[in-house]
Amino acid sequence: MANFERAQKIIDVAINRAERLAPNNWSIPSRLDEIRLYTDYAEPGYPNGPVALGNWNDMLNYDEKADGPRDPRLLPNKVGQLLEQLGFDLDWSDQYTECCECCLPVRTQADCYSWTQSYLLLNDCEPVCFDCLTDSMIVEYLAEIEGGCNSAIPPGFDPEDFSYHRLNLDFQDGWYGTNHDPRKIGQALENLGFNRFLFKIDGVGQFSCDFSVYVHEENLKPDIDKTLDLLENFLSKEDIDGPDIAKQFQKAMSNIPHDPEPQKEGVKYVSIDLDKGKATTYKVSPQDFIEGNLPKKE
């Protein structure tokens, strides 16, 4: 606990220094005040021990230089260095959220091609890590996403433990070859009168996602095995393919619009809509690009 007290003292001193040296720049103490300290991660496979989440970048604009080593805009980075010396593992606050039960950080942004989330989002807004999940929470979550084609269960628990039955079919949505579309699969099931189905992610890679489909046993009665066989036979023959992502990407890249504002200084970037095979070109200022202030897709 001594290290946590020292860490908080470092943050408090830095905030006071920022307020003293830059009294009109409220963004510096605000950035420092957003630093959060934790005893551990809720993310599986991560190192045990204290964690500090924050934005560790200095607060200089892309074309600015520091006014010397005591420039208060350098404080976030310096505080991070000091916390590391105390044994804290530093990470970025915009890549995590807190579990509502244990209040430890759980990752929300991928850190590798094979990453999958290790939490469930209950009631659309309450993240609960796998370690804190109870059976009643899982049942509630499964009921919420039944019949939806935009949600999938992450690896980590088996829906068959909760009265769902897996269709003996392997699905994949990817860039090359197989491109099964959950929306078409869901529509095909609904057309047959099956609305208590779920999608589950089995694994992800750089260019593809493997997934499976489960149907609740109440939707399969009276003869569960026979109904499963009928569904598997039906889906194996049904057109459930979505657009070829590789071809859509090629189409979009071959028709990139020209610079919309050639006389304007700034960063030109291209947004790709793979569903439509369309590319849109934007021009923004360097600072907006750095801060992620980008136009929304059309």
> Is 99 within 8 Å of 132 (Cβ atoms)?
yes
- Band (164; pLDDT cuts 50, 70, 90): very high
Q: Is residue 297 part of a domain?
A: no
Shared domain check, 269 and 203: no
251 in a structural domain? yes
In angstroms, rounded to a whole number, what is the distance separating the alpha carbons of residues 204 and 76?
35
**Those residues with Cβ within 8 angstroms of residue 178's Cβ, 6 or more apart along the chain or in another chain:** 171, 172, 208
Residues 236 and 141 reside in one and the same domain: yes
What percentage of residues in the chain have a pLDDT greater than 90?
Answer: 63
Q: Is residue 128 part of a domain?
A: no
Do 284 and 271 lie in one domain? The reply is yes
**pLDDT for residue 148:** 92
Looking at residue 38, what is its pLDDT? 96
Q: Are residues 251 and 236 in the same domain?
A: no
DSSP 115-145: ----EEEETTTEEEEGGG--HHHHHHHHHHH
Residue that finishes a domain, picked among 242, 267, 283: 242
Whether 79 and 153 map to the same domain: the answer is no
Q: Say if residue 21's pLDDT is above 60.
A: yes
**Do 6 and 103 fall within a single domain?**
yes
Residue 297, pLDDT above cutoff 80? no
Separation CA 174–CA 206 (nearest Å): 9
Residues 211 and 267 both lie in one domain: no
Query: Could you report the per-residue pLDDT of 169-187, keeping only the tens digit for each?
Result: 999 998 877 889 999 999 9
Pick the last residue of a domain from 242, 257, 273. Answer: 242
Claim to verify: residue 217 and residue 252 sit in the same structural domain: no
Which uninterrupted H or E stretch holds 203? strand 197-204
Lowest mean per-residue pLDDT among 13-17, 78-82, 222-226, 238-242 = 238-242
CA distance 107 to 96: 4
Q: Are residues 237 and 257 in the same domain?
A: no
Position 102 scores a pLDDT of 95
Please report whether residue 32 resides in a domain.
Answer: yes
The Cα-based distances of 30 to 33, 98, 296 in angstroms read 5, 20, 27
Longest dimension (CA), the chain: 77
Single-letter amino acid, residue 107: R
For residue 270, name the pLDDT band (cuts at 50, 70, 90): confident
Number of residues that make up the chain: 298
Run of H or E including 147: none
**Dihedral sign from CA coordinates of 182, 184, 187, 189:** negative
Q: Does residue 30 share a domain with residue 89? A: yes
Cβ-contact 154, 118 below 8 angstroms: yes
Q: Of 92, 107, 122, which residue sits at a domain end?
A: 107
Q: What local confidence, expressed as pLDDT, does residue 1 receive?
A: 56
User: Which CA distances in Å does 52 have to 15, 55, 78?
Assistant: 16, 10, 13
The answer to the question of residue 272 being in a domain is yes
pLDDT of residue 2: 56
Tally of domains within the chain: 3
pTM score of the predicted model: 0.82
Tell whether 232 is covered by a domain: yes
pLDDT at 298: 59
141 and 207, same domain (yes or no)? yes
Residues 140 and 235 grouped into a single domain: yes
* pLDDT tens digits along 22-68: 888 899 999 999 999 999 999 988 888 999 999 999 998 877 888 88
Whether residue 124 is contained in a domain is answered as no
Domain of 267? 246-291
With respect to residue 165, please indicate whether it lies within any of the assigned structural domains.
yes
In this predicted model, which residue has the larger pLDDT, 62 or 214?
214
